[in-house]
Amino acid sequence: MLMIVRYLILCWLLVCMGSWQVALADVVPVRLPLTIDLAQLRAMVVEQAYPLAGEQAMVVDYADGCDQIVLSHPSVEVEGEQIRFLTKVNIHWGTPLFESCVAPVSWQGYVELFQVPRLNQNWQLSFEIRDSHLLNSSKQPVQVFDVVWNLVKEHVHTYLQQIQINLAPPVNRMQNSLLPMFDRQHQTTAHAFLQSLQPDGSKVVGDGVKIYIRGEIEAPYEGPYAPEPEVSEEEYARFLELWQVWDAYLIYQLKLFTDIPLSDDERHILLDTMLTTRYAFSEALEQKTVTDAFVRGQFLWGWKQLSPLFRRHLLQQSKRDVVGYLAFFTAHDALVALDKLGPSIGIEISADGFRRMAALISTQPLQFSPDGAADPSLRTIFGLDPLEEQPLEYDKPVQISPAEENAPTSWLEPQALWQAFWGTGTALAASGKKQSMDDIRNWTAEFTSAEQLLPRVTQVLRGAAQYKGKKVQVPGGSEWLEKMVMATAWQESCFRQYHVKNNTITYLLSYNSTSVGLMQVNEKIWKGIYNTQQLRWNAEYNAKAGSEILTLYLRDYLLKEKAPVKLESKKGQTFLAGWLYALYNGGPSQRKAYLKRQKTGKLYRSDKLFSEKYNRVSAGDWQTKVKCLL
């Protein structure tokens, strides 16, 4: 009897466990949006229904032109829960007699239709006419002869009612792009989910027509995203490579705006997206916390930043692949929706996925920028003028004898992780002209006294400040910017472009192998904006780049922020200098962080050291206080 009871209990437990497992593997309904904005909708209607030159459609053409109805210049608007479709119409109607057209009726004006979208199960989107009116050439309501109205209803209504937009191609392309975004363990689930997608209705919204896509996905409950476990060096290298592809994909997206007129605020969004993601990566890399979740988070955040600009601008340009853009938007929106379901879905942003996303909106493959080169189109997007690059003669550091080498400076120990991922390479030597080895030695503190080197460097910095001061309105004018540049170079490099290491004269490199030269410009943050070779061994180029970064932060960040002091005052200019340096040193996040430190009095050591240098430069006769060159 006891054995039977135990057996029954065991069976009951197994049934309960099975039910529990089923409960943890629920099939979750997913509803995805596909938004066709007005620009997209108009483009698709024109492509299908207005095939003639000048966006015209020949609806009727009988009897050698005796009976003609021509439509042209369509437009679409949202009015309440309906689409207001307006098209110009030209009617010429008569009775053909021999070679003549007897008693023709001629009328020109507009047909105004109010429509609602209808989506069938084959992904065909059509528009049901609910009401219509005739307007005159000034687009005012008009009464016409019955013959005209009847012609419009019989031919124009019928023609326009037959328009159907096939949404199967963008949905298919979206599905193909989503598949590699699921990890290997969830490919079966992904296939089942993508095959389950079906039309689920449509409605008019404020910016166009929203299509709903319904699907089901198996989602075992595993809770929110948990911290990822420690990974092997091989797996971590894969994360680094994935981030590099993501960065290339982000720049790929930014460059789509190259030929589009942008407002200052829109340029700021593009710049801030690039800087924020790169600074976050730099911090994660130093802390060795780059993970799949980190890249996924940057991707989703970046899409949130950029999607309004994509919808606002890119589809208004001619010769755009409307189907590709619909798939592009829908795929991104789908990933956002799926990510909210948690880790059990198996979303894993992949390099192949990024490449497929890029292929939706351009025939150009996703590529990395040439290593070390400045990208003119990227500079254009951020409103930056071309920066002159001088010819570079040498491709190796300058060799010296062991006896000449002095003790290295404090900036010189690179971290192996940065070297492994980004590479430090060698650099070329140049200034305003092709340099000789003697020129390089004369720019190196170990071979040139401070009395000789400092005036030479000061002249280059002053020229850079004056050059960039003309590009932005600076509180305190170019004189203030000159002080700012001097103090920054003092703080960052102690006015050094080069130093001696391992019996060679080479460019000054930061402790973490990210920043170089006189202004310690971060090569990783500003990749594509500046030429790496020029930054390393062209002091004048480095000075202009650093000055440009200062003015860029000033223009796009600080002058848009409400300051706690009047910036035109002496106190305000001192405050602004410290605030600007905080961004130069730490990126956009320091805009608010520095204000908080000022308010609490808990300044960083770097804040205090820079403030001392700026005050000394402002007081004049500061050159004698530069002890770090001795």
Give residue-wise pLDDT tens across range 189-243.
Answer: 888 889 999 999 999 998 899 999 999 888 765 555 556 666 678 888 888 888 9
Distance CA 324, CA 317 (A): 14
* DSSP assignment letter at 199: E
The reported pLDDT for the residue numbered 15 is 36
Distance CA 382, CA 378 (A): 7
Residue 376, token pair as written in the block: 């003119």
Confidence of residue 12 (pLDDT cuts 50, 70, 90): very low
Distance CA 89, CA 109 (A): 6
Cα→Cα distances 314→259, 305, 328, 440, Å: 10, 15, 12, 48
Distance CA 300, CA 116 (A): 33
The reported pLDDT for the residue numbered 402 is 61
Mean of all residue pLDDT scores within the chain: 84
CATH topology of domain 398-625: Lysozyme (1.10.530)
Distance CA 466, CA 462 (A): 6
> What would the pLDDT profile of 552-578 be if each residue is shown by its tens digit?
999 999 988 888 888 888 899 999 999
Least Cα distance to 392 among 533, 499, 515 occurs for 533
Phi, psi of 295 (to 5 degrees): -65, -40
| Domains of the chain by residue range | 40-165, 168-197+231-381, 398-625
Residue 217, token pair as written in the block: 């996905």
With 70 as the cut, is the pLDDT of residue 431 above it? no
Distance CA 487, CA 390 (A): 26
The reported pLDDT for the residue numbered 434 is 56
The reported pLDDT for the residue numbered 314 is 74
Residue 444, helix vs strand vs coil = strand
> What would the pLDDT profile of 570-613 be if each residue is shown by its tens digit?
899 999 999 999 999 999 999 999 999 999 999 999 999 999 99
Distance CA 435, CA 429 (A): 6
- In the beta sheet, which residues pair with residue 36? 209
Confidence of residue 422 (pLDDT cuts 50, 70, 90): very low
The reported pLDDT for the residue numbered 211 is 92
Chain mean position to CA 385: 20
590-598: which pairs have CB atoms within 8 A and are 24 or more residues apart? 591/557, 591/558, 591/561, 595/564, 598/564
- pTM of the full predicted structure? 0.81
**Within 568-627, where are the H helices?**
570-586, 590-600, 605-619
Least Cα distance to 129 among 91, 168, 156, 107 occurs for 156
How crowded is residue 214: how many other Cβ atoms within 10 Å of its Cβ?
14
For every residue of 242-271, DSSP letters joined together read HHHHHHHHHHHHHGGGTTS---HHHHHHHH
Least Cα distance to 419 among 285, 518, 243 occurs for 285
Phi, psi of 226 (to 5 degrees): -95, 160
Sheet holding 208-220, edge to edge: 25-37, 208-220, 198-205
Residue 484, token pair as written in the block: 């700012």
Residue in the structure block whose two tokens are 């000022």: 598
Cα→Cα distances 268→283, 305, 593, Å: 22, 11, 19
Distance CA 126, CA 294 (A): 42
Phi, psi of 394 (to 5 degrees): -105, 150
- Identify whether the C-beta of residue 36 lies closer than 8 Å to the C-beta of residue 211: yes
Name residues whose C-beta falls within 8 Å of residue 103's C-beta, 6 or more positions apart in sequence: 94, 95
The reported pLDDT for the residue numbered 259 is 87
Residue 604, token pair as written in the block: 């960083």
Sheet holding 504-507, edge to edge: 398-399, 504-507, 498-501
3-state secondary structure 297-314: HHHHHHHHHHHHHHHHHH
Please give the average per-residue pLDDT across 462-488, as a whole number. 86
